[in-house]
Structures are given as structure tokens and as C-alpha cells.
A and B are shown apart, each in its own frame.
Chain A
Amino acid sequence: MVYTIFYGLTIGAILYFISIGLSLTFGTMRVINFAHTITYTIGVYVLITLVNFFKWPFPLGAILAILAVIPVGYIIERFIIRRLYGESLDYTFIATFAVALIGVDAIKWIWGARPYPISDPIGKYLMFWGLSLPIYRILIVMIAILLFFALNIFFKKTIVGKIVVAALEDKDGVRCLGINVDKYFSIVFILGSALAALGGVLYAPMSSVHPYMGLSVLLLCFAVVIVGGMGNLNGTFLSAFALGMVMSLTARYWPQGAETMVFIVMAIVLIFRPIDI
């Protein structure tokens, strides 16, 4: 049972990393960002290239992978997302999905469609009370909690964060103050992309790496964002861990049903609290 809870925490942490970007993009720009899959997958593939082929150490590869995603995020924001401000949600949805299609195909082009393995970079276990927990997973949960506090400080104390929070509430109001909102949205988008890459990089050793890996994870993250409330950062944090728990508890009794359970929870939430977007 302890393992199950621990596994749930790990999955929740990963979901949290990826969902922040989605939640922020939706909250500020009103864009449902399917292109998130691409930043996530590209991060993982860069990591694979560096670690498996060039034999770099994992932490260095991870940092470079996250940095490599930043220009990709900027290009997507500059040429696709920025043109979609104020458009109807359907078009943003289709356009970002098209970006995801292009990206997946590009990855297949460059790296091929076959899955790559990547091993646990630490591979040691923490033993106490007769339990053995992988240190790597403990690290992931720690990073998630640290990130939560870091983001809270970022959004409450720094001027950039304050502007973004204000824009989440009332975009036009912020624009009326003479602040170039688009610039801050761009920053938010890149931040979200980098965090998605962080999630991907950390999750890669636990999952198989293939070009379509982003799509299934993204669906789970949409569920997280819907359950947690769009643009609500604390809600995203809570719902990511809650749904991670749901996944691991379901997986304990019914292994194939884990992902489906998340969608069932999402459907139940939508029944009782429909979101008007």
C-alpha cells in the first residue's frame, strides 16, 4: 500500500509539471495548447540523444534538454499562438493540434518511430522500515514540491509573476495600464514549455520513449487542468496529486484501467461543475 501511495505521488508530480504550462496558457491566453505534446516530446528526445548516444551524464543532459525546448516554445508562441489571441477556441484547438501533428512527424523523421529505452539514472534505493523506495522517485516528488513553492513565490513576489496573475484575472485591465501583455504571455508560454520538458525528462526513465508519448500524457494533463480549474495554480497542484493517486490506486486493483479512471473522475467533475469556456 505504501508503494501504491508513493507511486501515486510520483505520477502526480509528473502530471503537475506538465499541467502547469497548460493551465497557465489557458488561463492567460485562452488557448487550449495541444502543442504542449511537442515541447514535452522534444525535450525527452534531446535527452535521449545526449544520454544514450553521446554518453553525457543524466543531469547535464536533462538541463540541456530543458534549455533546448525554450527556442521551440518561442517559435510556437511567436508564429502560431500569438496569431490566435481572441480567436474562437475551436480554431486554437485545431491549429495547436496541427502543430502537434507536424512535430510528431518531424520527430519520426529525425529519430525514427521505434521506442528507445532509458535507464533510471540513480538506480539506488532508500531503505527504511523494511521498505525500499527508489531515490529517483523521491527526488521527483521533492522537485515537484519545491517547484510548487518556487512558483508561488514567483507569482506572488516578482513583478513578472504579479503581472501574469493580474492578466489571469483581467487581461484587458492589465493592458489598459500600459503593460505589453503579449510579452509576458510569451514568457509564461516558454516557462510552461520548459516545465513540460522537465516533466518529460523526469518521466522518461519510467516510461517508454516513442513519438506519440506526448498525446496520451497530454490527455491526462487536460483532465488535471479541468479538475483543478483552468488557470488555477493551487488547484492544478492538488488535482495533479489527487489524480495521480487515483491512477495508482486503480492500477493496484485493475492495472489496465488506470488511465480510464482519470477520465471517469473528470466526467464526474464536469457533471457537478460544468465549465463554461
Chain B
Amino acid sequence: MDDIKELNLDEDKASSNKPVELPAELRNTRIKEHGAIDFLAIAAFFLLITPLLSVHRVTDFMIFCIFAMSFDLLYGYMGRLSFGQMLYLGTGAYGCGLFIKYIGGNPLLAILIGIAFAGLLAMLLGLIIVRTTGACFALINLAFNQIGFFLVLSPLRNITRGEDGFGISASKLGFLNFGSRPIMFAFVLLSLLVVFYLLRRLTSSPYGIMIRSIKEDETRVRFLGYNTFLYKWLTFVLAGSIAGFAGSLNALNYNYVNPNAMDVHSNVGVVFACLIGGAGYLYGAIVGGVIYMVISNFLPIYIYRWEMFLGFSLLIIVFRFRMGVWGYIQRFWEYLIRSKIVPRFMKKEGI
């Protein structure tokens, strides 16, 4: 596991100012990784699985992948396990839904409002939450999620309609009609790619190195004179906003908002997705998101006790399978590259 982490850090150094000596072949593979081929691959993957499932379901999968990436930014990159990320998803959904219900039907504006709601909430709560680490971080997030769920359910009942939730219908904006499934699909796919691009740029920038260093050893980063609080807070707000974005898309996709969008028990889903895909890889979040959605959508049909299945798989992941699916793919890929290059290198050096 450690050598993978180091390799990742190397990758970041390569894209920042510090030059790292690498053989030409390796450098080429790296350029490919950052190229347009990523986006093509992701788009092709989701387009390919669409005929197997249905358009609506794949849209749902992609929204969950966006959510999983927001969680991965927090857990995989910054090493802060949150058990309350659903709060921001729900806030986004409610922000978007309430805007459409009470103010106007413009869906794009509603999405922006949803993101702003979630972002603002993350800004406020982040000031408290980010000061803690480890278990406290997870627990305080869980507590805030519980408070949010409760607020939506009962004191704000007049606005949010409590347990029943409310239906929304976004108006058409030219060709952008969210009522039509293919257009929703295209829009969500585009958003997924945009979020992926944004996070890829961010995590391979100096900022990305900073949050990974915070994951490794925060005290040392603070000794180097960096304001770690600011970085942690920024990451928290960013993760919250992206979760809010996913929430807004969710509300538009279902045309319906209810407190389930904020359910505390659903948090385990995103943790599971992130871990099985491989924490600390954006691709891992996508792979894990798809795996989790397939499990939660299709497994209950065949296995009645699917929560138990989820529990046992989480145990297996924790004890035996920590790198996740993408971690193993990456390791295999690096093994392939290395096995081709290393012998040639040794020949050149005359060893």
C-alpha cells in the first residue's frame, strides 16, 4: 500500500514544478493518463452499460458517482472519514427542490442554488468540523447529519412537507428539458466529466499535494508553515458543494425530494463505494460507485439479506482488500510497465 502512495505522490510531483527523473516510456504513459482519453473512456463506459440497464438507472449511477467522488476527495485524498456526507447531498436536493417549488422553474438556476446551499452549509459547519480529526470527525459529521435530517423532518415541516416530501417540475430551457430522459442522461454525463476534470486538475496540483500531505502527517505540514486549517476547510467546502451538486441532480432526476435524501443510514453506501473502488483514486470512486449501485439495485432481487452481504463485504475490504478494485488495477498496470522497462534499463546501465 505504501509504495502505491509514494507512486501517487511522484505523479503529483511530475505535474508540479519539481522535476522528477523518469524514463521516457513512463512519462508517456503518464501524459496519456491525463489526456482526453480519460473522458472518452468514462463516457464510453457509461454509454456502453446503458443498453444493458436503462437510461434512468444509468443516470442514477452517474449521479452517485459524482457523490462518491466528492466523498473520495474528503476521505481518499485528505484522509478524513466523514459519516455525514449525505447531509450535503440532501441540502443540495432540498435547495434545488425548494427553489423550483417556491421561486421559479429554471433548472440551471436551481442547481446553482442547490450547490450554494450545500456549499454555505459546509462553510459554516466546516469551521467546527474541520478542527477535529479521525473518529471525532466522522462522529461529528454523523451528528450534524442527524440534526439536518431531524430539522427537515419536523421543525421545517411547513416548508419541506416533512416525511412525505414534495414533487417538483422544472421548466424547459430551450432544448434543455430535464423531463426527457436522454437529455437528463447527457447533462449528468457532462456534469460527471466536468467534476472529474475539475477534481483531476485539483488533485494533481500543488493544492492536491498539500491535502495528501495532510493525510500523511498533518503536524509536519503545519511545521512547514502551511495553514492546514485553510486547506482542510477548502477541501471540506469543495466536497460539500460537489455533494450538493449531486443532490440537485438527484432532485431533478427524480422530480421529487424527500428526507431519504438525507438519511443517516445511507452514508454507509458511499463509504462502501469509495473503499471497494479504491480510496484515493478518482477512477476508484467511479468504479466503486457503479459497483455499489449495481449491488444495491440488483442484489436485493436475488439476496434478501443484502445488508448483511454489505457488512461482510465491508469486513473483507477492511481486512484483506484495502486498495480496492482500482488500486489493484493500477498496481497491475504499473507492474506491466515496470516488467517491460526494468530489464531494458538494467541492460543500458550494464548491471
B and A form one assembly? yes
The CA of A89 and the CA of B155, in the complex, are separated in Å by 35
A256 — which chain B residues lie within 8 A by C-beta?
Answer: 150, 154-155
Tell whether A101 pairs with B138 under 8 Å between CB atoms, given A263-B146, A267-B143, A270-B131: no
Which A residue sits closest to B139, measured CB to CB? A222
The CA of A263 and the CA of B142, in the complex, are separated in Å by 10
A102 — which chain B residues lie within 8 A by C-beta?
Answer: 307-308, 311-312, 315
State whether the Cβ of A166 lies closer than 8 Å to any Cβ in chain B: no
B26 — which chain A residues lie within 8 A by C-beta?
Answer: none
State whether the Cβ of A266 lies closer than 8 Å to any Cβ in chain B: yes
CB of A263 within 8 A of CB of B311, answer no
Tell whether A101 pairs with B311 under 8 Å between CB atoms, given A95-B318, A275-B136: yes
State whether the Cβ of A223 lies closer than 8 Å to any Cβ in chain B: yes
Among the listed A32, A80, A104, A274, which residue makes an inter-chain contact with B315, where contact means beta carbons less than 8 Å apart?
Answer: A80
What band does the interface of chain B fall in when counting residues whose beta carbon is under 8 Å from A? 35 or more
Tell whether A270 pairs with B311 under 8 Å between CB atoms, given A215-B265, A256-B150: no
The CA of A31 and the CA of B264, in the complex, are separated in Å by 21
Tell whether A259 pairs with B146 under 8 Å between CB atoms, given A83-B319, A94-B318: yes
CB of B144 within 8 A of CB of A263, answer yes
Among the listed B134, B136, B271, which residue makes an inter-chain contact with A270, where contact means beta carbons less than 8 Å apart?
Answer: B136
Which B residue sits closest to A31, measured CB to CB? B135
State whether the Cβ of B16 lies closer than 8 Å to any Cβ in chain A: no
The CA of A276 and the CA of B228, in the complex, are separated in Å by 15
A97 — which chain B residues lie within 8 A by C-beta?
Answer: 268, 271, 314
> Which chain A residues in 89-115 approach chain B with CB under 8 Å?
89-91, 93-95, 97-102, 104-106, 109
The CA of A267 and the CA of B142, in the complex, are separated in Å by 11
State whether the Cβ of B81 lies closer than 8 Å to any Cβ in chain A: yes
**Per-residue CB proximity of A219-247 to B under 8 Å, as 1/0?**
10011001000000000000000000000
What is the minimal beta-carbon distance from B111 to any residue of chain A, in angstroms?
29
CB of B144 within 8 A of CB of A98, answer no
CB of A263 within 8 A of CB of B143, answer yes
The CA of A153 and the CA of B64, in the complex, are separated in Å by 52
Enumerate 16 A-B pairs (CB-CB under 8 Å) in ascending A order: A89-B135, A90-B138, A91-B318, A94-B314, A99-B315, A105-B308, A105-B311, A109-B305, A215-B265, A256-B150, A259-B146, A263-B143, A263-B147, A270-B136, A275-B132, A275-B136
